[in-house]
Amino acid sequence: MKILAIDTSCDDTCIAIIETPDEKGSPFKILSNIISSQVKIHQKWGGVYPTLAKREHQKNLPQVLKRALKKAKKPRVDESKDSSSPSSRYTRGSVVDLIAVTIGPGLEPCLWTGVNFAKELAKRENLPIVPVNHIEAHILANLLPQISEISNFQCAKKAPLSSFTSFRYRETQLLISKQLKFPAICLVVSGGHTQLILMRDFAKYRILGETRDDAAGECFDKIARILGLGYPGGPIIAAEASKQVHRGRASVKLPRPMIYQKNYDFSFSGLKTAVLYNFKKQKPKLRKSKEYIREICLEAQQAIIDVLIKKTLRAAKDFRAKTIILGGGVAANKELRKQLKKTVQKELPDSRYLIPDIQFCTDNAAMVGVAGYFHRKETKNWKNVRANANLKV
């Protein structure tokens, strides 16, 4: 089965075509995974400007679809047609069998652009649509192939199928039994969300806690803006911090908000404010120095990581998690990946630790295809598909 997946929840226009596992539980095959980034457009605002992002998605989607189809080696798009039309000559069963589209959570105007594009495509090609939750897609990105690194430090033993009886499909059982053991604690950290989620089974989620203000990625982005470093802030701050790491610990001290509170919630806006005060306090010459920027980036990154790890560990211990799962754009942060792995190894040696390959942490449509696969029996007629900016898992 081939799934065409679409994600326009934020500022990346993403379309992927994936081939789903066979009956023996073979891995997902990514035939194409095209991401058209709008970073350059939003850079000058220091964040995503929703109406601008929507316009870009509208412009990009037909082109991204063409590229995705071409890359998947089924270039059957009718080139003679107007490029603004998502129409193609492929039919049900020949190229794709199903369309999966992110309906939320995300930026409302952006979500609708992807949803409307998917609906038009579904109507023309007579294809069913599966609505996908973007947060669940970030979690299930862990089932995509690991290309650049092996994250499972514990060799996955094959679990008996009887322990997965509540799964709906046999191949799903086979696939998941190799990688996921329940209960799992999922830490989803992105530009819009920071959530700790208890996963008791496939599609059985409970949000244990979330941020009360800014998301972790948003905090990275806002700190970078304060320091005049550009957008998106996460990778830039990580790069600056990595330059400082070999020169000893940073002398700047920043707070770890809510770290000792016995709940699973987060708060990052105070950290951003602390960076702002520290920055303003410095003499103009010093705050522009490489040394200061590297120091404050290292400390800010570490403050975010400390809180994320502490709360994840608390949730994992409280719910006796057998798997710890990381997902979302901030999961691309190498220090977070490394430090969380080390903590799990030390404190929860019997638990598995899953992190997506770095390329599947930030927004992409391959992960949407995976989520679409698990919900493939929940297809909807295109007329009934709606975006929901506040959708919860």
Interacting residues toward ligand KG4 by CB under 6 A: 10, 190-192, 217-218, 220-221, 232-235, 238, 328-330, 332-333, 362-363
Residue 36 as a binder of Zn ion (CB under 5 A): the answer is no
C-beta of 346: minimal distance to Zn ion in Å? 29
Least distance between ligand KG4 and beta carbon 218 (Å): 6
Residue 209: name its binding partner from ligand KG4, Zn ion, none (Cβ under 5 to 8 Å by kind): none
**Hey, what are 145's tokens?**
């192939």
**Residue number, 218 or 240, with CB nearest to ligand KG4:** 218
328: left (phi over 0), alpha (psi -120 to 50) or beta: left
Strand pairing of 29-37 and 98-104? unpaired
- Cβ-based nearer residue to Zn ion, 21 or 328: 328
* Adjacent-strand bridge partners of 130: 100
Q: Which is nearer to ligand KG4, 329 or 372 (CB)?
A: 329
| CB closest to Zn ion, residue no | 190
Burial of 141 (0-12, 13-18, 19+ CB in 10 A): buried
Site for Zn ion in 338-367 (CB under 5 A): 363
104 binds, among ligand KG4, Zn ion, none (CB under 5 to 8 A by kind): none
How far apart are CB 97 and Zn ion at their closest, in Å? Answer: 25
- Minimum distance of Zn ion from residue 41's CB (angstroms): 18
Q: In whole angstroms, what is the distance from residue 391 CA to residue 3 CA?
A: 22
Nearest Cα to Cα of residue 237 among 222, 252, 224? 224
In the complex, the smallest distance separating the C-beta of residue 134 from Zn ion, rounded to whole angstroms, is 6
- Residue 334 and residue 228: Cα distance in Å, rounded? 22
Q: Among Zn ion, ligand KG4, none, what binds residue 220 when CB lies within 5 to 8 Å by partner kind?
A: ligand KG4
Q: Shortest gap between Cβ of 300 and ligand KG4 (angstroms)? A: 10
Q: Which amino acid is at 53?
A: A
Residues 169-208 that bind Zn ion (CB under 5 A): 190
Of residues 348 and 393, the one with the C-beta less far from ligand KG4: 393
Q: How far apart are CA 372 and CA 379, in angstroms?
A: 9
Q: How far is CA 337 from CA 46, 146, 271, in A?
A: 25, 14, 21
Q: What residue 364 binds from ligand KG4, Zn ion, none (CB within 5 to 8 A, per partner kind)?
A: none
Distance separating the N- and C-terminal Cα atoms of the chain? 25
Cβ pair 106, 329 in contact under 8 A: no
For ligand KG4, give the closer residue by CB, 8 or 173.
8
Shortest separation between residue 176's beta carbon and ligand KG4, angstroms: 23
Minimum distance of ligand KG4 from residue 323's CB (angstroms): 20
Count of C-beta atoms within a 10 Å radius of residue 146: 16
Least Å distance, CB 373 to ligand KG4, is 20
Dihedral over Cα of 352, 357, 363, 367: its sign: negative
* H-only helix segments in 141-232: 170-179, 216-226
Distances (CA, A) of 318 to 100, 182, 226, 259, 322: 35, 14, 37, 16, 11
Query: Which among ligand KG4, Zn ion, none contacts residue 8 (Cβ within 5 to 8 A by kind)?
Result: none
Contacted entry of ligand KG4, Zn ion, none for residue 233, CB cut-off 5 to 8 Å set by kind: ligand KG4
Of ligand KG4, Zn ion, none, which one sits near residue 21, judging by CB under 5 to 8 A according to partner kind?
none
> Closer to ligand KG4 at the Cβ: 192 or 209?
192
Cβ closest to ligand KG4, residue 112 vs residue 182: 112
From Zn ion, ligand KG4, none, interface partner of 221 (C-beta below 5 to 8 A by class): ligand KG4
What CA–CA distance (Å, rounded) separates 242 from 148? Answer: 20
Report the partner that residue 244 touches, choosing among ligand KG4, Zn ion, none (CB closer than 5 to 8 A by kind): none
DSSP letter for 201, please: E
**Residues at the site binding Zn ion, with contacts judged by CB under 5 A:** 190, 363
